[in-house]
Structure 1
Amino acid sequence: METDPADIRGWQRLSGDVTTSGRLEEHDVARLAALGVKQVVNLALDSHPEALADEAGRFGAEGIAYTHIPVPFDAPAEAHFEAFRAAVEAGPKPVHVHCIMNWRVSAFFYRLHRDFQGMPEAEARALMAQQWVPDAADKPEWQAWAEFIAPKAD
């Protein structure tokens, strides 16, 4: 059994069936396949300078399902979250979810854990904080993310 590739930027194992990270490099495709990953979900934009070229084709060649949900860093939306939730909850497992820094991903899983999987808020926040805390008080440009992760009124 392969061990977790902790040298991938922002690598995090959330459970036996869920791993996350920042950007992937060409050699990481085979490494994720060796781990038994059955689906990759990418929240980054293809236009980012660190995006892996032809990511869908590379994972497809390994027999790994691929879902691309391009989330603009300055404009995360509910439609992005719902597509992410559907892919993670209904797609093949194990699943690996990534972006460039593991910031988008950590915020998305924070909401999923807190709002849909019954994880206590403090525990969900602690998992997110291992990668990023989008605090708009410190960085006003992160306001969209602070709003995105805020609890929604019923």
Structure 2
Amino acid sequence: MSSLAQIEAFLPVSSTITTSGQPTTEQFADIASAGYNLIINLATPASTNWNPEESAIVENLGMEYIGIPIDWDNPTLSDFDELAIKLDENPERKIWVHCAKNMRVSAMMYLYHRLRKGYTEISARGYLEQIWQPNQIWQNFIDATIELYEE
């Protein structure tokens, strides 16, 4: 799995879920070889290193591709819910979730682990903080989402 560790912002979060920044075309082949069969991309066409051919590349390697484009400046509750549903629907599959730099993903995975999986704040935040400290937009989104879920 050492080749996978070369992918930008590579972060395994469980035995079935790994997150990262944008993989290259060649790295998608490594991901497929490692047994991943579902790719979820949270980046948008405006993101750094966006690959317009990604869905075709992923599907040609025998993996399923799901795009959930999340606006960097305006993440929404529906974005979070859409990702959480996909993760909940596929508990046995090996899933690779990425965006441009693993920043969108790490924030969403923090919320997923905290709100859907019952992780403690410290445990859930550990994954997030390995990647970044959320900016004001993302911290406000995180706080608002937690508040909605904990009502």
Give TM-score, length-normalised by structure 2.
Answer: 0.91
Partner in structure 2 of residue 118 of structure 1: 118
Say which of 136, 144, 152 aligns to 2:147.
152
Question: Over the residues paired in the alignment, what is the CA RMSD in angstroms?
Answer: 1.4
- Residue 19 (structure 1) aligns with: 18
Matched position secondary structure for 1:57: helix
Give the Cα–Cα distance (whole angstroms) in 1 for the partners of residues 110 and 25 of structure 2: 28
Measured in 2, the distance between the counterparts of 1:105 and 1:48 equals: 13
Seen in structure 2, the aligned counterparts of structure 1 residues 116 and 70 have a Cα distance that, compared at 3 Å, is same
Once the two structures are TM-superposed, the CA of residue 149 in structure 1 deviates from its matched residue by 1.1
Shift of 1:3: 4.4
Aligned equivalent of 1:36: 35
Structure 1 unpaired stretches of 5+: 135-141
- Percent identity, aligned pairs only? 29
Q: Residues 76 and 121 (structure 1 numbering): CA distance in 2 closer, same or farther, change over 3 Å?
A: same
What is the rounded CA distance, in whole Å, between the counterparts of 1:111 and 1:4 in structure 2? 28
Residue 47 of structure 1: how far off its partner (Å)? 3.2
- Matches for 1:127-142 after TM superposition, within 5 Å: 127-134=127-134, 142=135
Deviating beyond 2 angstroms after TM superposition, the runs of 4 or more aligned structure 1 residues are: 46-49
* Equivalent position of 1:51 in the other structure: 50
Distance 1:109 1:63, change over 3 A: same
Report the CA distance between 1:146 and its aligned residue: 0.8
| 1:15-74 CA distance string (max 9 Å, x none) | 110000001111011001001001000000023341123111111111101100000100
CA distance in 2, matches of 1:71, 1:103: 11
Q: Which has the higher helix share?
A: 2
Which AA in structure 2 matches 1:148?
F
- The superposition leaves residues 69-124 of structure 1 with CA deviations (integer Å, 9 ceiling, x where unpaired) of 00010000011111111111213610000001100000000001111101000111
Aligned-partner Cα distance in 2 for 1:81–1:89: 12
Q: Residue in 2 aligned with 1:68?
A: 67
Residue 152 of structure 1 and its aligned partner are, at CA, apart by 1.3
Question: How many pairs were matched up?
Answer: 146
